[in-house]
């Protein structure tokens, strides 16, 4: 992962893929020294797969059945094979709504990152923006972090904050957070691509 070689990224997502798009846009703009080597979704008609096809990135639908919230058994092995075959260095979870189990974690130990729509450790789990609104937080945001065995708990690489406004709905707050996500995710990936950070205990610091 030197500063001249492109970082090979596999993006996993279950939804519309705006974070994948921001990564692709940053690569195109030259601010992220990387290549997306594959996009994988557990949702057959997820728009993230359409975006990948439009950009000429190999796009795979891999069912996670029979489970609803996790990857396990055969499905997990198929994910590992596909990700390895693509020549992946880093897995970027971008709205991938499944818990990553030990086999995949071990196959890519220290090389899986996630974007979460809250200022962790506040509001892990589903719809972090709705949790912030319902709690009455005045500040919300997003977190890019390494993935470990605990959900939404690994070392934090980048965080960005946004205000919560009095007239916010879940939709307006999520939209404001997503604007920051689209900056934070390429920024975190570029830190990894340039080998600029290291993990000291729970802290991610510049080398």
Task: Give whichever of 114 and 190 is closer to ligand GAR, judged by the CB atom.
Answer: 114
Task: Give whichever of 137 and 178 is closer to ligand GAR, judged by the CB atom.
Answer: 178
Annotated catalytic residue 116: yes
131 in contact with ligand GAR (CB under 6 A): no
Footprint of ligand GAR on residues 65-124 (CB under 6 A)?
94-95, 115-117
Q: Which residue is at the shortest CB distance from ligand GAR? A: 95
Binding to ligand GAR by CB under 6 A, coded x per residue (else -) over 145-184, reads: ---------------------------------x--x---
DSSP readout, the chain? --SSSPEEEEEE-SS--HHHHHHHHHHHHTSS-EEEEEEEESSTT-HHHHHHHHTT--EEE---TT-SSB--HHHHHHHHHHHHHTT-SEEEESS--SBPPHHHHHHTTT-EEEEESS-TTSS-SS-HHHHHHHHT-SEEEEEEEE--SSTT-SPEEEEEEEEPPTT--HHHHHHHHHHHHHHHHHHHHHHHHTT-EEEETTEEEE-
> Do 13 and 44 contact (CB within 8 A), yes or no?
no
Pairing of strands 156-163, 112-116: unpaired
* Residue span binding ligand GAR (CB under 6 A) among the ranges 11-19, 82-90, 101-109, 156-164: 11-19
13 in contact with ligand GAR (CB under 6 A): yes
Task: Give whichever of 72 and 170 is closer to ligand GAR, judged by the CB atom.
Answer: 170
186 in contact with ligand GAR (CB under 6 A): no
Task: Give whichever of 15 and 73 is closer to ligand GAR, judged by the CB atom.
Answer: 15
Question: One of 60, 116, 174, 182 is an active-site residue; which one?
Answer: 116
141 in contact with ligand GAR (CB under 6 A): no
Binding site for ligand GAR (CB under 6 A): 13, 15-19, 94-95, 115-117, 178, 181
């Amino acid at each position: 992962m030197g500063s001249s070689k492109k970082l090979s990224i596999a993006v996993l997502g279950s939804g519309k893929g705006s974070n994948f798009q921001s990564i692709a846009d940053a690569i195109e703009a030259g601010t992220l020294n990387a290549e997306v080597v594959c996009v994988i979704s557990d949702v057959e008609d997820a728009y993230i797969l359409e975006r990948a096809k439009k950009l000429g990135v190999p796009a795979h639908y891999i069912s996670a059945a029979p489970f609803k919230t996790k990857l396990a058994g055969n499905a997990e092995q198929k994910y590992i094979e596909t990700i390895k075959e693509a020549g992946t260095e880093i897995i970027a979870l971008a709205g991938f709504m499944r818990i990553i189990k030990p086999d995949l974690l071990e196959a890519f130990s220290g090389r899986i990152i996630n974007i979460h729509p809250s200022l962790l450790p506040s509001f892990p789990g589903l719809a972090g923006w709705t949790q912030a609104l319902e709690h009455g937080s005045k500040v919300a945001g997003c977190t890019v972090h390494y993935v470990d065995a605990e959900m939404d708990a690994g070392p934090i690489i980048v965080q960005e904050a946004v205000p919560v406004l009095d007239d916010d709905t879940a939709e307006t707050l999520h939209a404001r957070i997503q604007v920051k996500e689209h900056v934070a995710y390429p920024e975190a990936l570029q830190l990894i691509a340039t080998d600029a950070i290291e993990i000291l205990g729970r802290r991610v610091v510049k080398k």
